[in-house]
Amino acid sequence: MTTRNSIFALYFLFCLFVPIISCDPSFAGLPKAFPPTFTMPPTAEAWRIRIINDIEGPIEVSSDGGKSWELIGRVINPATRVLQGYLAAGYAPIGTVAATAVHGIRIRLGSTSNSYPDLINIVPKEFAVTPVYFGGHISGASGIYTDIPSGKSLFRELAPYVGSNTFLQSGDGLLHPLSESYSPEIGDALVIVVNTPINPLKEMIFPNVAGAPVTATYADGTVQIVTHVGRPVQGVGRFDGTSYTGVGAINTNHTCVLTISTAPVTTSTQLEGEGPERRGGFQIEPAYHNTQTEEASAPQVLIVGPFKTHTPSLEGTPPIFSGYFSLAWSPSAPATSWICDIQTASKPGVWQPMPTIIGNAPDAFVKLGVTAFRVHRSQCDDETVIANWIADDHAYYSDVRQELAQSGRIDVARGVMPVQVSLISNPSYVSLYVDGDFAGMTNSSPYSFDWDSNSVGDGEHLIEAKAVDSDGDIVSSLRKLVWVDNGHHIKGQ
């Protein structure tokens, strides 16, 4: 592709790239992650997520297998490469979601022989800049940075389950599995297909007693002993993203961790680690992985599985560390929320709400006499629940963008909108696209269009103009977001 200097007469909104600190430490001598052999339960597609890896690229969700899509956000900065990830990601199959959290989604790539496989990451807007004392994976150039808030939408109820397959969508709409050598390019359409178990989990009980069985109860009433507690948890620590999670909500589920928040959702605009402490939570980890991490002796971790094991057993396996837990949680929808509550020695047999505990409190559960934790929800994902989630998240995004339009930060289009393009060089032709769909072409200077905004519904739309030379190469491609306001119905609302 050739590139020539060109100037478009339209005003286009550009997002500045925020510098992200990255690290590439040496992990020589540390053990490798060996994925255990396991069989996933029968599943069915629940929804799929499509992200166009480009500035202003749409982030959309479909509940009908990709026949229709609803806009829930936009890409601020696209990913341009993969970066080395963390040890636990090695337990995820290549091309699948290795971690889902209110503060980021990790997709595993790289060779199966790599102890610390490559990742691409989907990042909420609050983590575009790495917070102070951030202890998680730093995305750097491997991050697809979005305008979606932490703990909302893609980073809450519509987050993919661990193990969800990720695909590259070609121009003909076909989905192709990501290879171990995949590296993101500008304009790539990534699709995450979210499958949920046909027999979903209703609750899991973790006794806070060494040697006690961990039991799972499924929707059909089946009760299963999943594993045993290796070491109880004593208290609470400062875990990433918990200030955006909610008391008793799931903050993170990945192939080696289930993190529960004990902190309320913050109202502060400061980054985590700045100002008064707002984080709080504890983790559940498999025994082998725990011995390979800095949390090996942390009192804020409940260990499950054979306590002195020398090989992986639960890592990357359902139901705890793959395929069953989501981030769904909302005070206004407790039935579909995953909620963790507790039992104490003073009230045996009585489940009580998780108390609010903020900051580093390594003996908080000991002082409270906590004897067990229950992670549960009463209503699982179904077609109605998912459709409501998608509609609500689309409406939320539309409301935010409409406010920007009303304040003048997004151009408003009504009726016929003149689009004129000025170029230093003379291309063979210039094409106009609206939301990726062809809307017009001209080879005549001054390369102008009369675009009728009534051809689309009210709401936000992306206008793109692409100038092509005689060889068929795109010599310039710029874009502009507009808010259409013709008094028509906004799709999805």
Structure tokens at 61: 């969700």
**Residue 206's closest CA among 5, 363, 340?**
340
For the CA atoms of 446, 452, 456, 457, the dihedral, rounded to the nearest 10 degrees, stands at: 130
Q: CA-to-CA distance for 468 and 470, rounded, in angstroms?
A: 7
Residue 91 Cα distances to 86, 196, 322, angstroms: 10, 19, 10
Count the Cβ atoms, other than its own, within 10 Å of residue 334: 12
* pLDDT at residue 359, rounded to an integer: 96
Q: CA-to-CA distance for 348 and 364, rounded, in angstroms?
A: 18
* pLDDT at residue 427, rounded to an integer: 86
Domains and CATH numbers, the chain: 43-197 (no CATH), 201-381 (no CATH), 400-484 (2.60.40.10)
List CB contacts of 382: < 8 A, sequence separation 6 or more.
none
**Residue 108's closest CA among 210, 254, 237?**
254
* pLDDT at residue 212, rounded to an integer: 96
What global pTM score does this model have? 0.87
Burial of residue 412, with CB atoms counted within 10 A of its CB: 0-12 exposed, 13-18 middle, 19 or more buried: middle
Structure tokens at 21: 């600190």
Task: Give average pLDDT by consecutive 10-residue segment, the chain, 493 residues.
Answer: 36 27 30 52 94 96 96 97 94 96 96 86 94 86 97 98 97 94 96 96 97 96 95 97 98 97 96 93 95 85 87 92 96 95 96 98 98 96 94 94 87 87 78 90 86 90 88 80 79 42
DSSP per position, 229-244: EEE----BB--TTGGG
Give rounded-to-5 percent helix, strand, coil for the chain: 10, 35, 55
**Residues 222, 209 contacting (CB under 8 angstroms):** no
Element (H, E) at 197: strand 189-197
Residue written as tokens 């710029």? 478
Residue 390 Cα distances to 191, 324, 423, angstroms: 16, 20, 41
Say if strands 143-146 and 118-123 run parallel, antiparallel, or are unpaired: parallel
Count the Cβ atoms, other than its own, within 10 Å of residue 155: 29
* pLDDT at residue 489, rounded to an integer: 54
**Residue 119's closest CA among 101, 145, 137?**
137
